[in-house]
Chain A
Amino acid sequence: MNKPIRVVSVFCLVLFLALLVNATYLMYVRADSLSDDPRNRRIITATFSRERGAILVGKEAIARSVPSDDKYKFQRTYSQPYKYAPITGYFSWYGQTGVESSQNAVLAGDDSRLFVTRLVDLLSNSDPKGGNVQLTADAAAQDAAWDGLEALPGNAQGAVVALEPTTGRVLAMASTPTFDPNKLASHDFGAVADLSKELNADPSQPLINRAIGTTLPPGSTFKLVTAAAAIESGNYDADSQVPGGYRFQLPQSTTSVGNYDGGNCGGRRITLTQALQVSCNVTFMSLANELGVDAMADQAEAFGFNDTSLEDLGGQAESLYPRDMDPPQTALSGIGQSSVTATPLQMAMVAAAIANDGDVMRPYVVDEVRAANLSVLDRTDPQNISKAVSSTTAEELTKMMVATVDSGTATPAQIPGVQVAGKTGTAQSTADRPPYAWFVSFAPADDPQVAVAVLVQSSDTSRSEIGGGRLGGPIAKAVMEAVINQ
């Protein structure tokens, strides 16, 4: 009987080997995907019971965990909830967004960069602590951006993004309407679920970070891209003569499109600078028509369109310049209409690239990752992601934008004693809604420290007051001043 006993032994060996291999697969290989399952309450419960790291702006912790005396050991609190909600996101029983989500591993203390800290915690038998995340945001700039949006009349929907042109650091990112992450971080999960449902159903979409998550026609601010493409083509500079006039006849179509104010931009032939100053639709439709969809798309993509560039914050929508537009659509795209859409972040990147000699820097919101003992574990290095235009083109564009602020449509952004470069935008939407108001700018023009994009999506302002940078200009100005005056 020994031969079959040996066979049975081998069979048992196979059974046990299968168990060992499967256990290894489950607990080592598959562990990560199991941890990522949103239904895995262990992960969330554990992070609720652990001292989560702080999110810092300057020296202030805008999000931190304080000891709690209920079922979970810590309560997440946000010191300036509405102002920073688009960046921090929320940390709730049901999930996380924003930096709370993108930096979850660090904040929760699970990140591999925290290995040494974890080992020390393990050996000293102390509760593990999460690492801290230092944001790039500038408190003064964020205050200015938030106050500006708050001051808009009525229930304004808008967003502001400010970038440091040379690095891509996000100095300010605000969005209204927004939400109180404190309420979503509550340990009263029933109330959190109700609030969450309510926020999701709200037609004004308070949970969306409009600065990166909303794409809308960029309107006249896109003329910067059209101008850049024109100058890059080699046939134009700031002083070149370009077509002006009352109306532009769209190709392959009987439709003609006029200027915003119904004027003629100052003549049938005007300089490119003048065209930008008065935001002449005819000029830029004509330029886009002449350059063609490919040249326009190449230029737009060089600025970051048709891609997402922000890596440390979720929820970024892709700004679009479709390559399959027909000639009339292409002509309209020259003034930021038809199928072109952009996020405020994208338009801020356009301004920042012009300010930074044509180099597009990857925007980022996380400056440093620190251990609980504040030692720096990692620092984000600025990264050049593309060359949008040559530095001479950038200089020409800067000159034109300065002229636009000095004596054009963008005068509300003037700062005494500082040269400001800017461009307004007013994009058409449906007839029953007011147009979107855009404003992009950077300053000082000779040594740019900040580039700003402002979007006012809807507010109770009358239609006539939206154009001309009256809504966005003062906000952009305040943000730029906040950065420059430091």
Chain B
Amino acid sequence: MSQTGTLMGFVHRRRRGAELFLLVLALMVGIGAYAAVGLGVEGVVPADLVGYGGWLTALIVAAHITVRIVAPYADPVLLPLVAALNGLGLAVIRRLDLTYEAIGLDQHTFARQQLIWMTLGVILFIATLVLLRDHRVLQRFTYTAGLIGIFLLILPFLPLVGREINGARIWINVAGFSFQPGEVAKVLLVIAFAGYLVLHRDALALAGRRVVFIDLPRGRDLGPILAMFGVSMMILVLQNDLGSSLLFFGLFLAMLYVATERPGWLVVGGLLFGAGALAAYTFVGNVQNRFNFWLHPMDHYEDTPGSYQLVEALFGQGWGGLIGRGFGNGFPERVPFAYSDFIISTVGEELGLAAIMAVILCYGLIVERALRIALISRDGFGKLLAVGLGAIVALQVFVVVGGVTGLIPLTGLTTPFLSYGGSSLVANWVIVALLLRVSDQARRPAPRLDPGDDAGADSESTQVVKLR
């Protein structure tokens, strides 16, 4: 990578102290919010605040210590960001639990389950960092990851394990737990895309013809993009899951563009997506409905299916205003699935525009860190991996937050780290671990090449794999 040559003279600092300081702030967000929920809803500081806070602290400290030991040069901002978001999400879910319990709903232990999932997520985060000392190892599993990814996507259709919940067949049932394999599949697919594209980028990048101002790719190279398009459409039509479909295809397009540096792929992809969206709009009633509900939410409030959920979310957020109603003073329970897809409306209603902005900025920073990692990464695979993981977060946040705030048609996706949902939370912690791993590789000082050695062809062709 010739671009990184200019960075060779620059040595990144480890900044682990900064990370620790930011983590303290993040914990204050999480534990403070939890205390505020108790105060706001029940009028007392929660009795289990010490136990809860201790548990959260233990998880975060464990993650921090792991980073210190096995990825000392990793980006110092990512972990605090996700710790803050995860902590805030737990508090908001806890707040909803209290109301669900008060009004007599059966399900009101989402927060406890989410904490268990977070624990599992942190364990996987640590495991990923400890076991995977170099992300380039993953390149070996390009096709394995791809196949498993596709398999996971198909899994919900298999009898016995597959389950349909709320009209979307994206769940499997394992030992009493519901799990969305698509959440794991997206990480595997990013690995597969990165591995594939880094190998085939030259063919995809160089061959082609120029039409007007845009280099269009050759027909025979359209294979992968068509295959991915097919997978996306399959998800859309068979699983009735617009959000994931958009996410997978957008993700693939972004990585393809970065790998080939050819805007032509974006044109092809954009056209395909446009055609697909039009077809979906025409033939899939669900898509048409969602589009109409987005354009005229107020007209379909009383309909079934209708825009009740969206309109209630809009009402809630509007009512929240600049600083929100405060925990316990809103009515987020009026919004169906306020604890998962619509958690951002709860944040808006009770914590206001200020908190929504803070949350969006946190996500923005996560994406910014991911793309920065991609910029400074020294290997193509790492770059693509970081871009892909960053794009997952960016697209997912845009699709779900945009949907809940009425910017774009609503599609079902979880809000990373905030929403209740084990599969999503665990997958996102793994994403962060991978990003930290790539950034540790990118930021650590370049291996000292023996100056006496012949600085010619040998040193360039010899790749340094293990750096420690």
Interface residues of A (CB under 8 A from B): 1-9, 12-13, 15-16, 18-20, 22-24, 26-28, 30-32, 34-35, 37, 39-43, 45-46
A35 engages B406 (CB within 8 Å)? no
Shortest Cβ distance from residue A32 to the other chain B in the assembled complex, whole angstroms: 8
Shortest Cβ distance from residue B71 to the other chain A in the assembled complex, whole angstroms: 22
Q: Which residues of B contact A34 (CB under 8 A)?
A: 314-315, 318-319
A7 and B298 alpha carbons, distance in the complex (Å): 37
Give 1 or 0 for each of B362-386: 1 = CB within 8 Å of chain A CB: 0110011001001100001001100
Query: 7 additional contacts, CB 8 Å, given A1-B3, A16-B364?
Result: A4-B258, A23-B401, A24-B357, A27-B320, A27-B352, A40-B315, A41-B315
Which of B258, B319, B334 lies in contact with A5, CB distance below 8 A?
Answer: B258
Q: Which residues of B contact A23 (CB under 8 A)?
A: 317, 348, 353, 356-357, 360, 401, 405
**Closest residue to B197 on the A side, CB-wise?**
A1
B401 engages A19 (CB within 8 Å)? yes
A46 and B350 alpha carbons, distance in the complex (Å): 13
What secondary structure prevails in chain B residues at the interface with A?
Answer: helix
Shortest Cβ distance from residue B403 to the other chain A in the assembled complex, whole angstroms: 11
A28 engages B383 (CB within 8 Å)? no
Interface centre among A19, A28, A35 (most CB of B within 10 A): A19
In the complex, B322 has a CB within 8 A of chain A? yes
Interface centre among A3, A31, A41 (most CB of B within 10 A): A31
Shortest Cβ distance from residue B329 to the other chain A in the assembled complex, whole angstroms: 8
Which of B3, B319, B320, B407 lies in contact with A19, CB distance below 8 A?
Answer: B407
B357 engages A28 (CB within 8 Å)? no
Number of interface residues of B (CB under 8 A): 50
Known: A8-B371, A31-B321. A22 touches B405 (CB 8 A): yes
In the complex, B391 has a CB within 8 A of chain A? yes
Which of B315, B320, B406 lies in contact with A37, CB distance below 8 A?
Answer: B315
A5 and B257 alpha carbons, distance in the complex (Å): 9
- Could you tell me which residues of chain B, from 398 to 430, have a CB within 8 Å of some CB in chain A? 398, 401-402, 405-407
Shortest Cβ distance from residue A54 to the other chain B in the assembled complex, whole angstroms: 23
In the complex, B243 has a CB within 8 A of chain A? no
B259 engages A1 (CB within 8 Å)? yes
Q: Which residues of A contact B269 (CB under 8 A)?
A: none
Q: Which residues of B contact A19 (CB under 8 A)?
A: 360, 397-398, 401-402, 405, 407
Which of A26, A42, A43 lies in contact with B405, CB distance below 8 A?
Answer: A26
Q: Which residues of B contact A22 (CB under 8 A)?
A: 402, 405-407
The 24 sampled A-B contact pairs (Cβ below 8 Å) are: A1-B1, A1-B3, A1-B258, A4-B258, A5-B374, A8-B258, A8-B391, A9-B368, A12-B364, A12-B371, A18-B402, A19-B407, A22-B405, A22-B407, A23-B348, A23-B353, A23-B356, A23-B405, A27-B318, A35-B319, A41-B331, A42-B330, A43-B319, A45-B331
Shortest Cβ distance from residue B58 to the other chain A in the assembled complex, whole angstroms: 32
A45 and B380 alpha carbons, distance in the complex (Å): 57
A12 engages B348 (CB within 8 Å)? no
Which of A6, A15, A30, A43 lies in contact with B398, CB distance below 8 A?
Answer: A15
B360 engages A5 (CB within 8 Å)? no
Which of A2, A20, A40 lies in contact with B360, CB distance below 8 A?
Answer: A20
Q: Which residues of B contact A40 (CB under 8 A)?
A: 315, 319
In the complex, B301 has a CB within 8 A of chain A? yes
A30 engages B360 (CB within 8 Å)? no
